[in-house]
Amino acid sequence: MIQLRNMTYVLRRINLDIQEGEFITVMGPSGSGKSTLLSIIGMLDDSWAGEFYFLENEVHKLDRKKRSDLNRKHIGFVFQSYHLLDNLTVYENLDVPLSYRNISRSQRASMVAEILDRFQIVGKKDLFPSQLSGGQQQLVGVARAVVGNPKLILADEPTGNLHSSQAKEIMELFKKLNEEGTTIIQVTHSEVNASYGNRTIQLFDGWITSDPANPQTSTPSVVAR
Amino acid sequence: METLLQDVRYGFRMLRKSPGFTAVAVITLALGIGANTAMFSVINSVLLRSLPFPDSGRLMVVWKTMSNGTPNAFSTPAFLEMRQQGDILAHMGAFSNASFNLAGKDVPERITGGKVNYELFSVLGVQPVLGRMFSAGEDQPGAGRVVILSHALWKTRFASQPDISGSTVSLDGAPYTVVGVMPRGFHVLADKELFWVPLQLESANAQASARSVHWLFAFIRLAPGTSQQQVQTVLDTIAARLKAQDPTGEGGFGVTLQSIREFNVGNVKPALLLLMGAVAFVLLIACSNVANLLLARGTMRRREISIRTALGAARIRVILQLLTESVLLSIMGGVLGVGLAWAALQVLLAIHPSSIPSVETITIDAAVLAYTALLCGVVGILFGVAPALEASHVNVGDALKEGTRGSSGGFGKHRVVLVITETALASILLIGAGLSLKSLWRTENVDPGFNPTGEMTFRISAPPSFAGERIPLFYQQVLERMRALPGVQSAVLARNLPMSGGDPSMPIAIEGTPPPPSQIPIVTRLRAIGPDYFSGLQISLLGGREFTDHDTAAAPKVAIVSESLAKLYWPKENALGKRLKPELTGGEWYTVIGVAADVRHWAADVTDVEPTAYYPHTQLPEAFLPLLEGSMSIAVRSSNAAGLLSSIRAAVASVDSTVPVYDVQGMEEMVADSGSLRRFDMWLIGAFAGLALALAAVGVYGVMAYSISQRTREIGIRIALGAQRQSVLRLIMGQGARLAVAGVVVGLVGAFALTRLMESLLFGVSPRDFGTFSIVPGIVLVMILVGCFIPALRATKLDPVVALRDE
């Protein structure tokens, strides 16, 4: 699904292969490049050099618009701070990503209704984010990421602002989504969260220092000391 | 469409969530859009709205070109000669002002109207709403007396009688048959016209008019598809032909065309366009302010925009959403602005100068609303596009990282450009206002050459049945009765008093001076006056004597010349005793018996006084009298001019009870009226400049306050590191001052280039007046620095601990 070859700039000669259906965890200390890697895979960050293949597309050869099209069609985001739009209701927040696609209003309404039902937040559809708890907000955040049926969900410390029971609920949700076929890449500091995934990649100073799928990963001595 | 509706809905919600921002932006825009709407209402009514003639763009006023190249009305012989040239001139319409006593009340009412030839209504393309137009026969000498009424006269004096045609009205004591009523609002030259009668140009009286009496306004209608330039070329060809036939004849000087709209509004057009330019500047400054607010708001909305981008919003989509919000703001500003414009127009209508034509029709109509709607759209995009472009240009990854701070330090290049722009615009406007103010001050201090204090003026006309010596006798009797009224210090008589109307310009011959080789005659203003005119109006007599009751028709012909005329023709000699002759039928030699100081007859703010010759009204050639003495003005000076009117009416009635007193006006009021357009311009441009300066200062305040809010941490660190409060103040003020100086310099350059456009509107002041260009930048700098000072002072009071926690 995803292939990164000699990805450099903030990252250092990253080579990474991700198959469809995987649940990847990216770990590493602050400043190691976790969020940057996520932004690059999510096609929000253009500051890189190298080769990037996504679903048969040569992303490194695409212009910004085409990258945005790919992002819009196949990728959903979940953020640590939820990043719901404060002035929109839950319903409208779920509608926002669909409104950026060429989807009719009635179809959008049907998709949002389905996701509200699936996430059991129908009763909260007219509330604003400020009227929800942190866990509820992140639930909406995940619902928003899923509403467009993405092939890939990128989650940047999705439980960072939640207490443990809420975090567990969200992680169970990710696991379920993954089991239903959605590829998930999460960035986390939590070993517990990492345990929900099936592959953990370690980053340090922009280098991949550990990747179970690629034991030959070269690590410069200065990093590996 | 659905996307637009969604953006509009979200836009409204975003604006509602920030009531402070929305209120400031909407009020700022309302001031700018309101000023523009009000000014456009004036322009629309005065300059753009169609005249009461169909296809008025093809209607032309035809001017006789004088020997000195200036355009003038036609004399009867010149009009007839020109009409004989055929082509488009064969059907030239003619109009002359007329006034009659309309009987029907105890004292007849003096009404003004026009004499028109048979062709005029056809040229104008207007049909009566009742009855018919004049027939060709009715425009011939000896035809029966007929009249067409204005809609207003028909309504007010004849109760809109549907069967008015065929009935008789009494004008100047003679019966006239009403043949028609013109549509509402129709007039030829002035909206005071209440009737029209046939001109009967070929009549003996009209024929007798001298070639030098220019009293006919001529009109033609261009054929469809023909341009003014094409017809002017034809007319020039005719003039060349006439010149070849008679090299000394006046036909060779030709005629000049002027569109009827230009004729109507030509004098106020430059002032109105200047004011429209001023409000455009105000609007641009308002736009700069709101753009600055949006730039600041864009920074605060980085997170929201980043989320939208991360969720798949294309940049154009984000830009369109932000532009939707800015257009919503401008629409709200427009709605409030229309309200402000309406209120401003009520004030304007209350204080308007009489010199603005059609001022009573100024209103906010569909055209004005359409203009405002268009303006809202353009303005919304204008002030929204830079902030939208900047706000949509986000690095999503950075913006969504946790704990990311806003940018710090500096203003951003967009803000710098906006602040410099609005400061420059305010400087230009303020310099324009300064020049206007100085010009007005100069005007108010010009000595008009006479003393209007306590003068009450009015017009009367000798009864139409009077002829010959009875006419001057009638005026003499009235004058004597005036002088006998209690409290009256003086009473004078003139065909036209200063500030009250145009006297004919008249070529004169100077005894002993051969005609100039160019055949260009010596033209002076001819004024017919009564005895004791100069002492009554307190015009200085520089030599000789003034006219007395003894200067009758039978007495030796005498004249008084103005100082400028005396200097022009007898520069090194005493004018007294010299002789001159007005070039009109029956003109004789007049001996100069006095030299009077120059009088600014039309208005105080004219740079050149006209060389003038005064003649006793009793001594002008008889052929001239019907034109000259149709009515006369009288000025009565007393210590209680306002309470004098009833006594004046009674005194006139005691001479002849059928003679109405009309056009009653205080002379001080007339002097004030003569400068009212300039005063009006000055107040408006001053108000706009003040508004612009206030907006610019508020704009700078906003930018500085925003900049400081973004630099809280930096300033906190500086203070924590030991910076003195004064150095923080200096730092902030220094930045503001640099922007202000840059804006003022750009403004000075702009003003230097633009103020020459005001040249025709200024009096006694150069468009690059050094004083104005020196003082105004100082005022702008002070205002801008005041705008900087408040946020700067706030910055010095930052608690470093709190500021650093802000991180």
Residue A179 and residue B111: Cα distance in Å, rounded?
A: 99
Single out the residue in B210, B244, B265 at which a domain terminates: B265
Nearest to A79 among B6, B314, B400 (CB): B400
Q: Does B399 touch chain A (CB under 8 A)?
A: no
- What fold does the segment set A2-224 form as a domain? Rossmann fold (3.40.50)
Q: How many domains does chain B have?
A: 3
Q: Are B429 and B472 found together in one domain?
A: no
| CA dist list (Å): A92 to A86, A123, B318 | 10, 14, 16
Residue A176 and residue A173: Cα distance in Å, rounded?
A: 5
Residue B364 and residue B37: Cα distance in Å, rounded?
A: 8
Cβ atoms of residues B136 and B118 within 8 Å: yes
Express the helix, strand and coil content of chain B in percent, nearest 5 each: 55, 15, 30
Helix (H) or strand (E) holding A50: strand A48-54
The C-alpha of B267 sits at a distance from chain A's nearest C-alpha, in angstroms, of 55
Single out the residue in B659, B692, B712 at which a domain terminates: B659
Q: Tell me the average pLDDT of chain A.
A: 87
The C-alpha of B321 sits at a distance from chain A's nearest C-alpha, in angstroms, of 12
Q: Which residues of B touch A85 (CB under 8 A)?
A: 304, 307-308
Strands A14-18 and B109-116: unpaired
Closest CA to B294 of B9, B24, B692, B693: B24
Closest chain B residue to the Cα of A71, Cα to Cα: B312
Q: Do A45 and B310 touch (CB under 8 A)?
A: no
For residue B50, is it within any domain?
no
Residue A167 and residue A119: Cα distance in Å, rounded?
A: 15
Work out the angle at residue A119's Cα, subtended by the Cα atoms of residues A117 and A125, and round it to the nearest 5 degrees. Answer: 65
Q: Does B314 touch chain A (CB under 8 A)?
A: yes
Residue B744 and residue B663: Cα distance in Å, rounded?
A: 50
- Position B148 scores a pLDDT of 96
The C-alpha of A83 sits at a distance from chain B's nearest C-alpha, in angstroms, of 7
Closest chain B residue to the Cα of A146, Cα to Cα: B311
- Which residue, chain included where needed, has tokens 């517990």? A192
Q: Do A100 and B314 touch (CB under 8 A)?
A: yes
3-class DSSP assignment, residue B632? strand
Q: Which residues of A touch B395 (CB under 8 A)?
A: 45
Residues 6+ apart with CB under 8 A from B390: B295, B298, B412, B414
Helix (H) or strand (E) holding B561: strand B558-562
Q: Which residues of B touch A83 (CB under 8 A)?
A: 303, 306-307, 310, 400
Q: Are B415 and B489 found together in one domain?
A: no
3-class DSSP assignment, residue B717? helix
Q: Which residues of B touch A148 (CB under 8 A)?
A: 312
- Please state the φ and ψ torsions of residue B694, each to the nearest 5 degrees: -65, -45
For residue B84, is it within any domain?
yes
Count of alpha carbons within 13 angstroms of residue B758, beta-carbon side: 33
* Residue to substitute from B14, B311, B318, interface A, most A β-carbons within 10 A: B311
Residue B461 and residue B675: Cα distance in Å, rounded?
A: 28
Region A181-197: mean pLDDT is 93
- Position B609 scores a pLDDT of 76
Distance of CA B360 to the CA centre of its chain: 14
- Which residue, chain included where needed, has tokens 């005063």? B679
Q: Do B314 and A83 touch (CB under 8 A)?
A: no
Work out the angle at residue B697's Cα, subtended by the Cα atoms of residues B696 and B701, and round it to the nearest 5 degrees. Answer: 115
Q: Which residues pair with A203 in a beta bridge?
A: A208
Q: Do B311 and A97 touch (CB under 8 A)?
A: yes
> What tokens appear for A183 in the block?
């590829």
Q: Does B302 touch chain A (CB under 8 A)?
A: no
Residue B575 and residue B552: Cα distance in Å, rounded?
A: 22
Q: Are B637 and B783 found together in one domain?
A: no
Strands B558-562 and B590-596: parallel
The C-alpha of A52 sits at a distance from chain B's nearest C-alpha, in angstroms, of 18
Q: Which residues of A touch B2 (CB under 8 A)?
A: 105
Closest chain A residue to the Cα of B310, Cα to Cα: A44
Q: Which residues of B touch A101 (CB under 8 A)?
A: 312
Given a cut of 60, whether residue A191 has pLDDT beyond it is yes
B200 backbone φψ class: left, alpha, beta (φ>0; ψ -120 to 50): left
For residue B283, is it within any domain?
no
Residue A67 and residue A57: Cα distance in Å, rounded?
A: 10
Strands B488-494 and B632-638: antiparallel
- Domain spans in chain A, listed from the N-terminal domain onward: 2-224
**If interface means Cβ-Cβ distance under 8 Å, which residues of chain A face chain B?**
35-36, 39, 42, 44-45, 65, 68, 71-72, 77, 79-81, 83-88, 92, 96-97, 99-101, 105, 144, 148, 156-157, 160
Residues of chain B with pLDDT under 70: 68, 105, 202-212, 248, 250, 353-355, 397-412, 501-502, 504-505, 514-523, 584-586, 604-608, 622-630, 641-642, 720-722, 800-807
- Please state the φ and ψ torsions of residue B134, each to the nearest 5 degrees: -70, 150
Sheet bearing A152-156, strands edge to edge: A75-79, A152-156, A183-187, A23-27, A199-204, A207-210
- Position B465 scores a pLDDT of 80
Q: Residue B335: count other Cβ atoms within 10 Å of its Cβ.
A: 14
- Please state the φ and ψ torsions of residue B191, each to the nearest 5 degrees: -75, 0
Strands B59-65 and B255-259: antiparallel
Q: Does B320 touch chain A (CB under 8 A)?
A: no
- Position B236 scores a pLDDT of 86
Q: Are B600 and B728 found together in one domain?
A: no
Strands A23-27 and A48-54: unpaired
Q: Do A39 and B396 touch (CB under 8 A)?
A: yes
Distance of CA B204 to the CA centre of its chain: 40
The C-alpha of A71 sits at a distance from chain B's nearest C-alpha, in angstroms, of 6
Environment class of A116 (CB within 10 Å of its CB; exposed 0-12, middle 13-18, buried 19+)? buried
> What tokens appear for B8 in the block?
């509009």
Q: Do A99 and B397 touch (CB under 8 A)?
A: no
The C-alpha of A185 sits at a distance from chain B's nearest C-alpha, in angstroms, of 16
Environment class of B220 (CB within 10 Å of its CB; exposed 0-12, middle 13-18, buried 19+)? buried
Count of alpha carbons within 13 angstroms of residue A147, beta-carbon side: 34
Q: Does B308 touch chain A (CB under 8 A)?
A: yes
Q: Which residues of A touch B320 (CB under 8 A)?
A: none
For residue B284, is it within any domain?
no
Residue B407 and residue B707: Cα distance in Å, rounded?
A: 10
Q: Are B726 and B615 found together in one domain?
A: no
DSSP 8-class letter at B203: S
Residue B603 and residue B653: Cα distance in Å, rounded?
A: 32
Express the helix, strand and coil content of chain A in percent, nearest 5 each: 40, 25, 35
> What tokens appear for B538 in the block?
């307190």
Looking at B129-259, list the stretches that DSSP marks H as alpha helix, in order from N- to C-terminal side.
Answer: 151-158, 204-208, 228-245
Environment class of B606 (CB within 10 Å of its CB; exposed 0-12, middle 13-18, buried 19+)? middle
Q: Does B583 touch chain A (CB under 8 A)?
A: no
Environment class of B714 (CB within 10 Å of its CB; exposed 0-12, middle 13-18, buried 19+)? middle
Q: Are B557 and B695 found together in one domain?
A: no
Cβ atoms of residues B144 and B138 within 8 Å: yes
For residue B9, is it within any domain?
no
Q: Are B707 and B582 found together in one domain?
A: no
- Position B315 scores a pLDDT of 86
Looking at B457-612, list the stretches that DSSP marks H as alpha helix, in order from N- to C-terminal side.
Answer: 470-484, 533-537, 563-569
What secondary structure, in 3-state letters, does B253-270 show?
HCEEEEEHHHHHHCCCHH
- Which residue, chain included where needed, has tokens 């809905």? B9
Cβ atoms of residues B789 and B733 within 8 Å: yes
Q: What is the pLDDT of residues B273-316, one digit of tens each?
A: 888 888 998 998 899 889 988 888 887 788 888 888 888 888 88
3-class DSSP assignment, residue B497? coil
Q: Are B432 and B533 found together in one domain?
A: no
Q: Are B653 and B764 found together in one domain?
A: no
For residue B697, is it within any domain?
yes
Nearest to B401 among A35, A42, A100 (CB): A35
Q: Does B723 touch chain A (CB under 8 A)?
A: no
Residue B526 and residue B507: Cα distance in Å, rounded?
A: 9
Look up the domain containing B531 and give its range: 462-659
- Which residue, chain included where needed, has tokens 């109405």? B660
Q: Are B225 and B129 found together in one domain?
A: yes
Question: Residue B409 corresponds to which amino acid?
Answer: G
Strands A48-54 and A199-204: unpaired
Q: Are B145 and B177 found together in one domain?
A: yes
Cβ atoms of residues B727 and B460 within 8 Å: no
Nearest to A35 among B6, B311, B397 (CB): B397
Strands A183-187 and A152-156: parallel
Packed helices A90-99 and A105-118: angle between N→C axes, nearest 10 degrees: 130
Residue B26 and residue B7: Cα distance in Å, rounded?
A: 19
For residue B38, is it within any domain?
no
For residue B166, is it within any domain?
yes
Q: Are B131 and B206 found together in one domain?
A: yes
Closest chain A residue to the Cα of B317, Cα to Cα: A100
Q: Does B14 touch chain A (CB under 8 A)?
A: yes
| CA dist list (Å): B377 to A86, B7, B327 | 28, 16, 6
Q: Does B316 touch chain A (CB under 8 A)?
A: no
Region A148-169: mean pLDDT is 87
Q: Do A45 and B396 touch (CB under 8 A)?
A: yes
Interface A:B, Cβ pairs < 8 A:
62
Q: Do B317 and A35 touch (CB under 8 A)?
A: no
Q: Do B397 and A36 touch (CB under 8 A)?
A: yes
The C-alpha of A44 sits at a distance from chain B's nearest C-alpha, in angstroms, of 6
Cβ atoms of residues A121 and A140 within 8 Å: yes
Q: Do B308 and A144 touch (CB under 8 A)?
A: no
